[in-house]
Amino acid sequence: MDQNAKKIQSQRLRNRMIEALEICSSLEDISQLGSHETLEIAKDYLPHEDSYTDKIFSTEEQAALAIFASALRGAESATHQVTWDRVWFEKQEEWLTLIAASANARSIFERRGRFDEEQIDPKAK
């Protein structure tokens, strides 16, 4: 894969990560999708830690991703069965931490916004 194709792929991943952050920052979305599906969506699009330094992510976005990943691991560890119970999520410190970390990361990512998915976006440079 050439460099341009890799860059486009990274831009698309970044956009999917923003979508995952939107889901994980919403108690309503989490309770509609359930614990298992929410965790799977986030893990599917969360880049591996070694790719946080990809130029597609600003330094601030990289730090937010690391905090989000830690909160995601905490929510996963605290969840022993699949649930859609909003009240349960509201009482779980780990899920509240995930929601807060997601909201923070989302606001940081929104500063540069979504990137073009068909050509190299000037914001990605």
pLDDT of residue 51: 59
The one-letter amino acid code at 8 reads I
Q: What pTM did the predictor assign?
A: 0.91
List, in sequence order, the alpha helices (H) in the chain: 3-24, 27-33, 35-45, 59-78, 86-91, 93-112
Please give the DSSP secondary-structure letter assigned to residue 56. Answer: T
Nearest residue to 79 (alpha-carbon basis) of 40, 35, 43: 35
Please give the torsion angle defined by the CA atoms of residues 73, 74, 76 and 81, in that order, rounded to the nearest 10 degrees: 170
pLDDT of residue 47: 76
Low-confidence ranges of the chain (pLDDT < 70): 48-54, 125
Q: Name, in order, each residue with C-beta under 8 angstroms of 111's C-beta and a sequence gap of 6 or more.
A: none
pLDDT of residue 49: 66
pLDDT of residue 119: 92
